[in-house]
A and B are shown apart, each in its own frame.
Chain A
Amino acid sequence: MIKVTKLNKWFDDFHVLKNINLSIQKGERVVVCGPSGSGKSTLIRCMNYLEEFQEGSVAIEGKSILDSLEEIEKIRQDVGMVFQHFNLFPHLTILENLTLAPTLVRNISKDDAKTKAMEYLSKVKISSEANKYPNQISGGQKQRVAIARSLCMNPKVMLFDEPTSALDPEMVKEVLEVMTDLAKEGMTMICVTHEMGFAREVADRIIFMDHGEIIADLPPDQFFDRPDNPRLKEFLSQIL
């Protein structure tokens, strides 16, 4: 599904990603964690080329991003992304936020797009807010809308970049529930998050990054109960 090979990236002379190799199968749920500044966001942003990289390759379903830069939009259409700060379009209603991309790039009729958008809105339990504007709803609702917006494109994989870290604590749960449902349906997911409860429950693999390197890539039980790396142990002792 996603194959990252010998990925290296620099911001000027700062080496953010160091020789990353990673392969994610269809239907796998992968959680990425690590200290601030370790390059987690940068890594998943490379996967839909929101971030350029200098060396190595990223391939989505066997298609190398660098080889298909002309039609990078095509690749992005199949890769959903949810941001820490939601990034809803404030000038459009919730419903319009959801139908914009499908009507523009998938050539779906307005009505079909609306029907489908309403389906996803009820799935994330906010169909009653469809005609409101983003700044009229709460943070948790915004993030659920953002997830629904990505789902409307029928993505083959979903990337999450700390989807709950900008939320008030009482809203974290509703977003995690939506993500858990999504995982149960078999969506391929890559999540940067520090919600360790979610990671333990949902993840097939947990990746620990530090200073631009993948330090550990383990199943949850091994990750939490038998960490074998001193840096990982230290990290776990800080957040658990």
Chain B
Amino acid sequence: MRRGLDHKLVHWGKRNLFPNIAQSMISILMLIIGCGLLYLIMNWFLINAVWKGDSSACREASGACLSFIREKYLYILFGVYPREHLWRPIVGLILWIIFWFHFTKKKNWNKSLLLKFPTLFFIYYFLLSGGWGLSPVENHLWGGLPLTILLSTVGILVSYPLGILLALGRRSKSKLLSYPVVCYIELIRGVPLISILFMSSVMLPLFLPNDLNIDKLFRAQVAIILFSAAYFAEVVRGGLQSLPPGQEEAAKALGLNYLQTQMYVILPQALVQVIPPTVNTMIGMFKDTSLVIVIALFDLMGTAKSSLTDASWLGFSIEAYIFVALIYFIICFFMGRFSQQVEYEFKLSKERS
């Protein structure tokens, strides 16, 4: 058995790594580089890392300062949320994780999600903000991962349907409807999110009467929604255009009205067609929420950045950024996995009927 396995391995290596001289040179080079990198990372992250001890111990060592993370992880994850109420965002995040596993099971994909998703959102919001028996926590104290999750889930929940409406509007025969939609989409796509955030937080208050004080978080959320709706609209439009016109004609010929045609015939096909770019946009949007740092909201990125300003722990930015990068990566990874799963489930034969 062992010999057989060895043999197979050798065979595989011969075929894939060393089929000829040029390929072999590249393979050897890549192996050397790979091992070198692995060695450096292990060295930094494990062997020379400081697990315990204060910042001076960290500065003497050449490895990662993991005690910085131990010291700051609560702050990076939850910002200045009152420590005595920390269970609330934690429960909220756990609920999202449970929902995620529920959501990614195919047997749960039905209309009840339309109810579950908003319900979960309201529970989450209630946990963060308090009221009805929970002591209130004002939203300028929210921060870290819960804030990132809030901005991105609400963002997706609202901007995706909005994007669908915009896409339908853009394809409308009525110029009165399609022109403004085209203008909106092109305008938004031509402007960076960061400037929309600035506008919403700096310029909008200048135009509004003084006593009308809409809170900053809300304005940032609206900016994010308006921004990503334009992107979703274009993604969905791609899906709509990929359908043969016969589909709409057949639905019309059966006597379905516009709304029924879109709801039951066009959108179910079009949205499935564009799952990969849709999830792509969602991932992009999730990461883009980190830009709210420019209007002094402390989302995950913001707390990481401000954790670096602690005078007794200066200079550990690499550790902090790798820590948040890992969190972003894990979440994006699962979103990407989900995209592949959905695509697989809905795999429609290329052949059109």
Using CB atoms and an 8 Å cutoff, list the residues of chain A in contact with chain B: 48, 50, 73-74, 76-81, 83, 85-91, 100-101, 104-105, 134-135, 142, 146, 149-150, 153
Contacts and interface: CB of A to CB of B under 8 A. Distances in A.
Interface size grouping (class) on chain B: 20 to 34
Nearest to B254: A101
B265 A90 contact: no
Contacts of B272: 91
Interface string B258-285: 0010001100110010000000000000
Contact of A153 (B249, B255, B260): B255
A50 B249 CA distance: 7
Interface string B229-268: 0000000000000001011011111111100100011001
A90 B269 contact: yes
Contacts, number: 80
B20 interface: no
B352 interface: yes
Nearest to A75: B255
15 contacts: A48-B252, A74-B255, A77-B255, A83-B249, A87-B250, A89-B250, A89-B353, A90-B269, A91-B272, A100-B256, A101-B254, A104-B256, A105-B256, A105-B260, A142-B353
B244 to A, nearest CB: 8
A132 to B, nearest CB: 11
Q: Is the interface of B mostly helix, strand, loop or mixed?
A: helix
A74 B257 CA distance: 9
B325 interface: no
B56 interface: no
Complex A-B, nearest 10 residue pairs according to Cβ-Cβ distance, in ascending order: A77-B255, A134-B353, A87-B250, A87-B246, A101-B254, A81-B253, A88-B353, A76-B255, A135-B349, A135-B351
Contacts of B246: 83, 85, 87
B345 to A, nearest CB: 12
B255 A90 contact: no
B274 to A, nearest CB: 14
A78 B255 CA distance: 8
B348 interface: yes
A142 B247 CA distance: 14
